[in-house]
Every structure is written in structure tokens, then in C-alpha cells.
Structure 1
Amino acid sequence: MNSSGEVGSLLLDTTMPKRNSQVITCKAAVCWGAGEALKIEEIQVEAPGPSEVRIKLLCSSVCHTDILYWKRDYVQLFPIVLGHEGVGVVESVGELVTEFKQGDIVIPTYVGECKECENCRSEKTNFCHKYPIQLTGLMADGTSRMSIRGQRLYHMFSCATWSEFTVMNANYLVKAHPSIPLPHACLISCGFSTGFGAAWKEADVQKGSSVAVFGLGGVGLGVVKAAEMLGATKIIGVDLKEWRGEKGMSLGMTDFINPTEDNTKSLSERIKDVTEGLGVDYSFECTGVSHLLNQALESTKVGRGVTIVIGAINELSVPINFLALMAGRTLRGSIFGGVRPRSDLPSILAKCMNKELQLDALVTHQVQLDDINHAFELQEQPDCLKIIVGFDDKKHL
């Protein structure tokens, strides 16, 4: 796959599903209730609205947040098409869309960027006022572009990538070079970029500094790589799995701590043991395990330590060690690692294209959309890191 023309002709001309008044009938993995097995269903995907783009997905991947949406009944958006990591080719665009055309390779994001609101102009955050994270499961006008047997389907965020086709507002899309490896594009669409951005954009890791990373999944390894590229001299990874520590070392990690190896000390104490008793300059909580939040906070230096919370935590409320916080430390939450889709994501894509970022080692499993429920089983396996979801056309993986 070396050019957008090749992708466009191959996918748009030879594999187009049935049409009916610009409605596409295609397959999607539909979630009908919390924790229920997903069902591969025929759904209808409408034509894009004026500011929207309809995309044929080339491949997707599985993120921890997808699992949370699937398991937890507090979402209450059913039926829903899950998935928010992916890459696709533009099938059609609305009449007001000028930056994308049929055949473009695009990456969906769940964060928008208008470049005009107060937050976007500040360049200090990626929380756009005009294009916020869509938690309603609907488009900006309160409707959905997906349906099943006449019933409305919800989108996960602004995405819904576990479907052969989806529709998104153009402001939640970023163009990618047509030669980018599709699995790499999936990882960059959320997980890896979230970790990479947390070190780069949120913490602004300084040269010669020290870093602790709690959890060496796709997000945590993104933190490790960014910290190494930014010049951190001590990068401590924390994970239960030794093989993840090995992957971290290959990306620039200097020290590895397995929580099970020493039960006499807390993780924050063990991190201080390898930092001359002071702790680290920056810590990153990437696991979503609530009790590790305070360990991450306490592992940083008194007076100036910074902790970035990245992992999606099951609980909506978590107790914080007030004394640790009052000792001059900073605790900061982060979405998508502070990465602004239009201003910052192209830089990460460029690093992927010029081989500064080697992402092949992060992909451990692949499934086809028809076998999506197997991905949930694989996610629990000790050797699983990132799962790529294919759409039957295996030659594109």
C-alpha cells in the first residue's frame, strides 16, 4: 500500500457494500448491554452531514477504555458501536468539508480542535470548547448516523471504529500519509499518543530529569519513549509482567520494578530507593488501578514533583493523600496526553514515518471484526499488549 490512489481504487471500487439512497449497509460489532457479548450485525450508516466525513475503516485496535465502556453499566448508551482507535479511508464528505477528499487516509480522534476558542488559542490544553469529547454517543446535532433495524445506534465518543463504516465530524479527523503501517496508525490514534503526549505536552519532561511510569502497556510505553527522546536520564518502569519491563528497556527505560518482588516496601519507597531517597521529578499513572494513584503521587519529589494521571480508573471518586499533595507536589489529570489533534498529532505521525518511533513490538495479537469477542479474552492473557482488529481484507494488516 504505497499511495492513496491505490487504497482508494482498491477499497472504494471493489468492496463497496450495498447502497440505498446513500445509506450504506455494513457489518458492525454492536453492544446491546453492559458486559454482554458483542453481536456482529448488519447496520445502516447514513451519508455524512454538511461538516461530516464517512469513513471505511481499514483496521482498528482495542483500548482499555473500550473494555470499560463494555463492562460498566454507568455508560447507559445501548445499543452502541464501540471502538475509538483506528484508521480508515474517506468514502464521502459533506458539502462544507474542504480539508478531506475521497481516498484520503485518516485517523479518528475523540478530541477535537477548533483553533479558535479560548482553550485552543491558549495552546495550554487540548480541551476544545467548540468540539468537546462527545459523551452522549451522538453527533453535534443530537442525532446518530448509525441505526440497526430502524433503531438508533450510539457512537463511542465521536468514533465507533468497530464498524466497517462510520461517520465523524471532520474536526475529529487527522490526515495520515498513505504509506503509514495501518497498525501503527491505530496505536497513534489514542493509546501510544496518549502516553507520548503526557510526557511531551502535559509534563514537559526536562533533559536530565527522572521519571516513573506505573503500567507498561501501550500508554505507559508511549511515556517511556517520549521521556527517553526528551532526555530524561532515569526512567523507572513499574509493572507486574517482566516481559513488559524488557520492552520498556528496549525503548529507553533504565530501571524496572516488579511490585511482587518486595512486599516489605511500598512502590513509592522502592522508587525513592533508586533515586537517592528523593523520588522522581515526574510520575505517570497509566494503569487505572485506583490505589496506585497515591503511590504515583508519593513517588515524586517534595516541593516540585509532578504526577500525571492517564489511566482510566473504574471508580469515579478516589481518595487522595492530602499530606503528600500539600508537600508541594502537583497532581494533574490528562486526556489524550494533552495532544491537540491538528497541531500536535502530525508531529507524532511524522516520527512514526521517519522510524523514530518503532511500534511493531507493541502489537501482540490480531483478530478480525467477526471474532471481536475473542479480543476481550486475549486482553486478559499475560502476553497481551495491543490487539489489532482487521476488517476481513487481511492484506491490509
Structure 2
Amino acid sequence: METKAAILWEQGAEWSVEPIELDPPKGREVQVRLVASGMCHSDEHVVTGDLPGSLPIICGHEGGGVVEAVGPDVTFVEPGDHVVFSFVPSCGSCPSCASGHSNLCDNGGAIMGGRQMDGSSRHHARGQDLNTLVLLGTFAHHTVVHEWSCVKVPKEVPLNRACLVGCGFTTGWGSSVYAAEVQAGDKVAVVGLGGIGSAAVQGAALAGAEQIFAIDPVEWKREKAQGFGATHIAASLEEAHELIQEATWGRGCDKVIMAMGVGDGALMGQVMGLAAKRGRVVITNIHSATETSNNISLLDLTLSEKQVVGSLFGSANPRKDIPRLLELYSAGRIDLDGMVTRTYSLDDINQGFQDMREGKNIRGVLVYE
């Protein structure tokens, strides 16, 4: 079939919105009509080269839509089902999945390179095969994915909100609840208040944190974070350090969550200074693939028994946590509506990413109908 997608042909270029040819699903593949897709900073990382990606590529990995057709071996979903994509495919049976860490699925990781399991592509344009980011490619009106990427969701939940839990919201919320293990009474700092950081604030609040320090240079994002549960705000790490020292009587934060758009190893010394003794720093944001150094004091790490942990997808289990978060949304316990600051058509995708670069969005969402 012919459909439309946004393609990145060259690193650093704009997205080219144009017709593509989409092959029907085979084997365990699923054809989905996309309704909405979040615009995540990880897609921008492919443009800048901070994340490696094989070009040409259709990015987008935070999508929700309706199943239109399935391959002969599909068992998870059927036509008519509403689905949200888990940006990490999870098979449910590998050692990582079986041990409760499906965000690190061994088999799912093997198919995130942009081609189907048989090594071929279902997406084509200008006579070329196209890759899709993490085997999804949600910057399109239709796509073909592996069934491992599909999580069935209730039809009454609007997909232009549900799409957010396919990556950014779950990543931020899980960074607080799972990776940081925020507990009632904790003091928590969240650095960066985009989609991930704003969700981390919500996760910390829901977990019962006593104080939540929201840190971002953009004033309106700091103000927005207070609506999500932040108790204190700061414009910089320097300002936050002084504020945290005063508010915690010099103790520091039990948990620090790094959610800024692009991580910087040169800032890690300051970040560790926000953490209390035995404090945990969660690195959930992306650093450049070429960055190999930071300035953490290892003496402080030892003497204060501080921890630095990485977290992919908020250390969540997508088949459990995506429906769980949508239940919390339906119950009014988390705010997905407030996360969406602007919506765009696919034709306006370049404006959407420019707005993201200029700090105008918590999350911009592409809406296809």
C-alpha cells in the first residue's frame, strides 16, 4: 500500500514528508494505522548523530494506533485492536523477560536495528529500502512492526494521550518508581523537565516523596512542574545546590534523576553534589555515543556510599506498566493531558522539532486524524 512518512535521508537534515510503499505484514508482523505519535528527544538524537542510526530512516517510537492486518503467526493482537508500541520489543520468554526485566529483552534488542527479523524492510521510498527506528517508525500514517512491540490498550483511552506511555512517560515515571526506588518521605531532584523529567516528577510525587526539586532553565517548565507535584524549583544546578542544602539542612537528596535532553559528563561532579550520603543518581537521559568520560569524584562515591545507576525505559516492564499507567490516567492519578503542550500534523513535523529545541514543549504530539 502507499502511505506517507517523514524520512531522514541525511544526518543533520530536516525530515522529508513524502509517500512511501509499505509491504503487508509477514510471519509475526502487524500492520498498524497510526493515530498519534509523540516527538521524543531520542528521535532528535538520530538527527544530530548522538544516537547511531542507519539512514535513510523513519524515526518515531512513541506511537499509538489501530491494528489493520496481522501476519499468519501473530497471537498477541488482531485487527481492530488499539495498541501502544513499546519502544523496546519484549518477547516474554528470554532470560531478561523471565526475570522481570523485559525493558532489556534479549530477543527484542536483537530486532531494534531497523529491519525485520528476516533482515528485510517493509518500508520503501525512492526505490530504496528504509530503516525504522527501533523497528517502529511511528512518524508515518501506517507502519509494520513485530508483534513483540505491540501492547493492547483499552479502546476508550485516547491514543493521542496513550502514545506517551510507549516511551517518555514510562521512562520518567519508572526512573522514579523503579530505578530510583523513591519512597515516602524521600527528597528527590529531577534535572530536566521535558517529557521524561515531567513524568519523573509525577512518579516521585505518586511514590510519596516529601520534597521534589525540579530543575530546568526554562521558567514555564519549572512552573508546570509544580502542577505535576514539584515542591521546589531551580533554574540551574548551582541554584539547585544552594536550595537543596538549605531545604534539607545540608543533607542533600536521597534520589537524583537525570532527564535533561542531552547528558553531559562534565556536569556529573555537580550532579553528585546534589545527592546525600547513600544517595542514588539515576542516569536515564541519553549521552552522546562518543562521550566516554565524566568528572565524578570516586573518593566521594566511596566515602559517601553514593550510587550511580543507569535506567532504560525507566526499568519498567512494558506489558505490565503500559496498561497500568493508563489505568492510573483514567483514574486521574497521573496527568497525561498536561504533558501535551502542542499537537502537529505530520507535514508540520519540522516545526514540532524546532519548537522542542526552543524549549516550547513538554511533549509535542503528531496527530494523524
**Aligned with residue 104 of structure 1, among 81, 100, 105:** 81
Counterpart AA for 2:280: V
Instruction: Please tell me whether the aligned partners of residues 269 and 299 of structure 1 are also in contact (alpha carbons under 8 angstroms).
Output: no
**Aligned with residue 312 of structure 1, among 262, 279, 286:** 286
Instruction: Please tell me whether the aligned partners of residues 211 and 283 of structure 1 are also in contact (alpha carbons under 8 angstroms).
Output: yes
Q: State the shift of 1:73 in Å.
A: 7.5
- 1:324 and 2:296 matched: no
- 1:281 and 2:281 matched: no
Q: Summarize deviations over 1:153-193 as a string: whole Å, max 9, x none.
A: 00011210001111111111111111212221121111111
Counterpart AA for 1:219: I
Map of 1:8 onto structure 2: none
Q: Summarize deviations over 1:346-388 as a string: whole Å, max 9, x none.
A: 1112111222112222212121111211112211334322111
- Alignment map for 1:15-54 (pairs within 5 Å): 24-54=1-31
Map of 1:200 onto structure 2: 177
Q: Summarize deviations over 1:135-162 as a string: whole Å, max 9, x none.
A: 4221222221111133110001121000
The alignment partner of 1:364 has SS state of strand
Map of 1:362 onto structure 2: 339
Counterpart AA for 1:305: G
Q: State the shift of 1:66 in Å.
A: 0.7
- 1:118 and 2:91 matched: no
**Aligned with residue 84 of structure 1, among 61, 68, 72:** 61
Distance between the aligned counterparts of 1:334 and 1:74, measured in 2? Answer: 16
Distance between the aligned counterparts of 2:301 and 2:122, measured in 1? Answer: 45
Between 182-191 and 377-386, the greater mean CA deviation after superposition:
377-386
Q: Summarize deviations over 1:281-315 as a string: whole Å, max 9, x none.
A: 1000000231333332221112x111111111235
Between 227-236 and 350-359, the greater mean CA deviation after superposition:
350-359
**Aligned with residue 62 of structure 1, among 19, 22, 39:** 39
Q: Summarize deviations over 1:195-241 as a string: whole Å, max 9, x none.
A: 00111121221111111000111111111111111111111111112
Map of 2:193 onto structure 1: 216
Between 326-335 and 83-92, the greater mean CA deviation after superposition:
326-335
Between 121-130 and 79-88, the greater mean CA deviation after superposition:
121-130
Instruction: Please tell me whether the aligned partners of residues 53 and 133 of structure 2 are also in contact (alpha carbons under 8 angstroms).
Output: no
TM-score normalized by structure 1?
0.87
Counterpart AA for 1:277: G
Map of 1:13 onto structure 2: none
Counterpart AA for 1:48: P
The alignment partner of 2:107 has SS state of coil
Distance between the aligned counterparts of 1:125 and 1:107, measured in 2? Answer: 16
Map of 1:94 onto structure 2: 71
- 1:300 and 2:275 matched: yes
Between 266-275 and 112-121, the greater mean CA deviation after superposition:
266-275
Q: State the shift of 1:133 in Å.
A: 6.3
**Aligned with residue 159 of structure 2, among 172, 175, 182:** 182
Instruction: Please tell me whether the aligned partners of residues 267 and 295 of structure 1 are also in contact (alpha carbons under 8 angstroms).
Output: no
Map of 1:148 onto structure 2: 125
Distance between the aligned counterparts of 1:140 and 1:83, measured in 2? Answer: 19
Map of 2:355 onto structure 1: 378
Instruction: Please tell me whether the aligned partners of residues 51 and 96 of structure 1 are also in contact (alpha carbons under 8 angstroms).
Output: yes
Counterpart AA for 1:325: L
Map of 1:346 onto structure 2: 323
The alignment partner of 2:276 has SS state of coil
Q: State the shift of 1:75 in Å.
A: 2.3
Q: Summarize deviations over 1:263-295 as a string: whole Å, max 9, x none.
A: xx5644542232111111100000023133333
Distance between the aligned counterparts of 1:71 and 1:319, measured in 2? Answer: 21
The alignment partner of 1:115 has SS state of coil
- Structure 1 unaligned blocks of 5 or more: 1-23
Distance between the aligned counterparts of 1:133 and 1:301, measured in 2? Answer: 38
Instruction: Please tell me whether the aligned partners of residues 160 and 367 of structure 2 are also in contact (alpha carbons under 8 angstroms).
Output: no
Do the aligned partners of residues 347 and 133 (structure 1) sit closer, same or farther apart at CA in structure 2, a change above 3 Å counting? farther
Instruction: Please tell me whether the aligned partners of residues 112 and 340 of structure 1 are also in contact (alpha carbons under 8 angstroms).
Output: no
Q: Summarize deviations over 1:2-55 as a string: whole Å, max 9, x none.
A: xxxxxxxxxxxxxxxxxxxxxx11111111001112211211111112111111
Q: Summarize deviations over 1:53-77 as a string: whole Å, max 9, x none.
A: 1111111121011111112286251
TM-score normalized by structure 2?
0.93
User: What root-mean-square deviation, in Å, do the aligned CA atoms of Structure 1 and Structure 2 show?
Assistant: 1.8
Do the aligned partners of residues 30 and 124 (structure 1) sit closer, same or farther apart at CA in structure 2, a change above 3 Å counting? closer
Instruction: Please tell me whether the aligned partners of residues 133 and 157 of structure 1 are also in contact (alpha carbons under 8 angstroms).
Output: no
Q: State the shift of 1:134 in Å.
A: 4.2
Distance between the aligned counterparts of 2:189 and 2:51, measured in 1? Answer: 32
Between 77-86 and 285-294, the greater mean CA deviation after superposition:
285-294
Distance between the aligned counterparts of 1:93 and 1:316, measured in 2? Answer: 41
Between 206-215 and 128-137, the greater mean CA deviation after superposition:
128-137
The alignment partner of 1:132 has SS state of helix
Distance between the aligned counterparts of 1:91 and 1:225, measured in 2? Answer: 34
